[in-house]
Amino acid sequence: MNTDGSIAERPKNTIDWQALRHDFPILHQEVNGHPLVYLDNAATSQKPRRVIDALCHYYENDNANVHRGVHELSNRASAAYEGARNRAAQFVNARSADEIVFTRGTTEAINLVAQAWGTQHIKAGDKILLTEMEHHSNIVPWQLLAARVGAELVYLPVICDQGQLDLSRLDEWLTSDVKLFAMTHISNTLGTVNPVAELCARARKVGAVTLVDGAQSAGHCLIDVQEIGCDFLAFSGHKMCGPTGIGVLYGRLERLEATPPYQGGGDMISTVEFQSSTWNKVPHKFEAGTPHISGAIGLHAAMDYLDAIGRENIAQHDHELAAYAYGELAQLKGIRLFGPHIGRAGVVSFLAADVHAHDLVTVADQRGVALRGGHHCNQPLMKKLGVESTARASFYFYNTRSEVDRLVEVLKEIQKFFGGNS
């Protein structure tokens, strides 16, 4: 994927995607009497054997607390945990592992920035610019901050029928009183790929700090924080073949250094006295208490696994499969599709006439097809689109064209069942 958000044309890769499915034990089962077709990858991805084995290996051989003991197991656990940090730095091309803070996920990473950095740097009357396609995780923390300090939230509009941000109006919104611009890289409802490098460059011109929500992009395309030029980037391990409960906040070193601690406790201090404390250096200042050690180790294995496939290849595969699904669904009568017509990431949201999204996904589940129905934590976007919910198919590299065909077949059955068009 190019940094302007477009999908780079690449020669056809020679990866045997079907063979990669064997790496995922969970995919080979029947659900409700049908072979599982797992199309809910934007919610969470499945885990390859390599990640499951890394977790087992850690618990069977090296389990101990980090940064505390001087015994062998603690040394091994600490080395593995810090090894994961180094790997995460390399994964997003950070300048240093000190720029990588482990969090519980994207949500906690954004809350860390909003609470710790935001409280220090956003003042009454300042503006925080978001986009209308943000996930609640990239709205609510800023609402809490804005209410606390008296700042104002403003939103870059979405052009509904195109599923794109209205970039022609960016100058209207990105004014000099905007102190922070937080944007999603890939929309979890629309599948839109935003030109984050361009948006960050424009933000820099007015002196705004930038945060990129990489929840839907980190495991799906190459991420280079230096090329994007963002100040912060947040992502979750569980959406990219890693375990739940582990995520990453990348922060430009000088930003992290200018940020007070987020939570207090063990490991984040340098010295503690009865009345006051001093802080550990970045990034440990932000990791109070025993961290999710096995999670970081599992995430390390996931990053290795994804890079062995090649994230450019994954992006291309996602893009082709989503385009195929979009094209097939567009041929069904009574289906309303959301998001961009071309250049989308692996997410396709839709509605079938006269069928509620929840009914649609419930019946699909009875046929073994796992979709998500609802507002996808995008309530303001839903309101803008004039709907309450959508059904959503979201793809990863282990999904196949025949699974898309199965989705289409099931949708036709659903339309017939509910008496709609087909």
Binding site for ligand C6P (CB under 6 A): 42-43, 105-107, 135, 137-138, 184, 188, 213, 215-216, 236, 372, 376-377
**Closer Cβ to ligand C6P, 43 or 154, answer by number:** 43
Does residue 160 have an active-site annotation?
no
- 105: amino acid identity, one letter: G
Least separation in angstroms between CB 44 and ligand C6P: 8
Beta bridge partners, 129, equal: 154, 181
Least separation in angstroms between CB 134 and ligand C6P: 7
- 99: amino acid identity, one letter: E
Residue 67, helix vs strand vs coil: coil
Enter the tokens of residue 312: 């450019």
Task: Name the residue among 139, 224, 191, 214 with its Cα closest to residue 343.
Answer: 191
Task: Name the residue among 417, 422, 365 with its Cα closest to residue 391.
Answer: 365
Least separation in angstroms between CB 123 and ligand C6P: 26
Least separation in angstroms between CB 325 and ligand C6P: 17
Least separation in angstroms between CB 182 and ligand C6P: 11
b or e along 220-236 (b: 16 or more beta carbons within 10 Å of the residue's beta carbon)?
A: bbbbebeebbbbbbbbb
Indicate the DSSP class of residue 7: P
Residue 214, helix vs strand vs coil: coil
**Closer Cβ to ligand C6P, 185 or 284, answer by number:** 185
Using CB atoms within 10 A of its CB, is residue 273 exposed (0-12), middle (13-18) or buried (19+)? exposed
Helix (H) or strand (E) holding 397: none
User: What angle do helix axes 401-417 and 357-366 make, rounded to 10 degrees?
Assistant: 120
Residue 422, helix vs strand vs coil: coil
The catalytically annotated residue of 200, 221, 241, 377 is 377
Least separation in angstroms between CB 12 and ligand C6P: 29
**Closer Cβ to ligand C6P, 216 or 415, answer by number:** 216
Peptide bond into 283 cis (omega under 30): yes
Task: Name the residue among 166, 164, 228, 231 with its Cα closest to residue 197.
Answer: 228
**Closer Cβ to ligand C6P, 47 or 376, answer by number:** 376
**Closer Cβ to ligand C6P, 77 or 325, answer by number:** 325
Least separation in angstroms between CB 339 and ligand C6P: 13
Enter the tokens of residue 386: 């004039």
**Closer Cβ to ligand C6P, 77 or 218, answer by number:** 218
**Closer Cβ to ligand C6P, 77 or 145, answer by number:** 145
Q: Are strands 178-184 and 127-131 parallel, antiparallel or unpaired?
A: parallel
Contacts of 183 (CB under 8 A, 6+ apart): 130, 131, 134, 138, 156, 194, 196, 199, 210, 211, 212, 213
What is the distance between the alpha carbons of residues 365 and 371, in angstroms, rounded to a whole number? Answer: 7
Q: Are strands 247-251 and 34-35 parallel, antiparallel or unpaired?
A: unpaired
Using CB atoms within 10 A of its CB, is residue 72 exposed (0-12), middle (13-18) or buried (19+)? exposed
Show which residues are catalytic. Answer: 377
